[in-house]
A and B are shown apart, each in its own frame.
Chain A
Amino acid sequence: EPEVTQTPSHQVTQMGQEVILRCVPISNHLYFYWYRQILGQKVEFLVSFYNNEISEKSEIFDDQFSVERPDGSNFTLKIRSTKLEDSAMYFCASSEGLGLAGYNEQFFGPGTRLTVL
């Protein structure tokens, strides 16, 4: 069964450093998302992406964050200058996008645990 994959599974970085989190969405899916979950808290939306453009972003997704689809398979999240409060699990998700608006099921990858020291 097709699944979303993410690398690395765990990333440790120093405050102020740049990190890139990578995702390979399910191959025939058209919509891509990043969410994050701080330990003990709920899953929060960061950004959605379609047709090489950001569709929607949350207040969390400030100028420190960017997303890119550098080729036909990868989808990346870059944090330019990490802060301690960026420590969280980052989940990539994708959806097929063929149904009516809002009726698309989103499938999550296994996540990248980011630790900022």
Chain B
Amino acid sequence: QKEVEQNSGPLSVPEGAIASLNCTYSDRVSQSFFWYRQYSGKSPELIMSIYSNGDKEDGRFTAQLNKASQYVSLLIRDSQPSDSATYLCAVNKGYSSASKIIFGSGTRLSIRP
């Protein structure tokens, strides 16, 4: 079983609509959860972090965490063509302050004009 699972996509969403990206993780001890955006050939860019159950909003982005279901999601409202990228879900088990991040394989999002 993969530690962090994401649907690879591509997920195609019309401009202006809501894009919904999902992720599940296998280890219940996981402490913190992150969404990174990665454009082709570029490095991961942190867009959201979430540590407790519920929703966290930042501009057009909302991250949702459900630890009981081991499920993390990212909603992007009013999708723009510039949102077209691969979105990486990442998990930190929190064993130490130097704990590694474990990445999923990413979901490719395409916003069609």
Q: Say yes or no: A102 contacts B43, CB within 8 Å.
A: no
Cα separation A36 to B1 with both chains bound (whole Å): 22
A contact residues around B102 at 8 Å (CB): 45
Chain B contact surface mostly: loop
Q: A42, A48, A111: which has the most chain B beta carbons within 10 Å?
A: A42
Which chain A positions have C-beta within 8 A of B101?
33, 35, 45, 106
Q: How many residues of A contact B (CB 8 A)?
A: 32
Q: Which of B17-25, B45-53, B56-64, B74-82 contacts A (4 or more CB under 8 A)?
A: B45-53
A102's contact among B45, B94, B105, by CB below 8 Å, is which?
B94
Residues of A within 8 A of B93 (CB): 102
Residues of B contacting A50 with CB < 8 Å? 97-98
21 examples of A-B residue contacts, CB within 8 angstroms: A33-B101, A42-B103, A42-B104, A42-B105, A48-B99, A49-B98, A50-B98, A56-B98, A99-B97, A101-B97, A101-B99, A102-B31, A102-B97, A102-B99, A104-B97, A105-B34, A105-B46, A107-B46, A108-B44, A111-B42, A111-B43
Query: In this assembly, does B96 line the interface, its C-beta being within 8 Å of a C-beta of chain A?
Result: yes
A18-61 contacts to B (CB < 8 Å) = 30-31, 33, 35, 41-45, 48-50, 55-56, 58
Query: Contacts of A101 on B, CB cut-off 8 Å?
Result: 31, 94-97, 99
Q: How far is the CA of A109 from the CA of B105 in the complex (A)?
A: 19
| Cβ contact within 8 Å between A43 and B103 | yes
Q: Hey, which chain B residues are within 8 Å of A30, CB to CB? A: 97
Query: Number of contact residues on B: which range applies?
Result: 20 to 34
Cα distance A104–B88 in the bound complex, in angstroms: 17
Give the distance to chain B from A106, nearest Cβ to Cβ, in Å: 6
Whether the Cβ atoms of A31 and B97 lie closer than 8 Å is yes
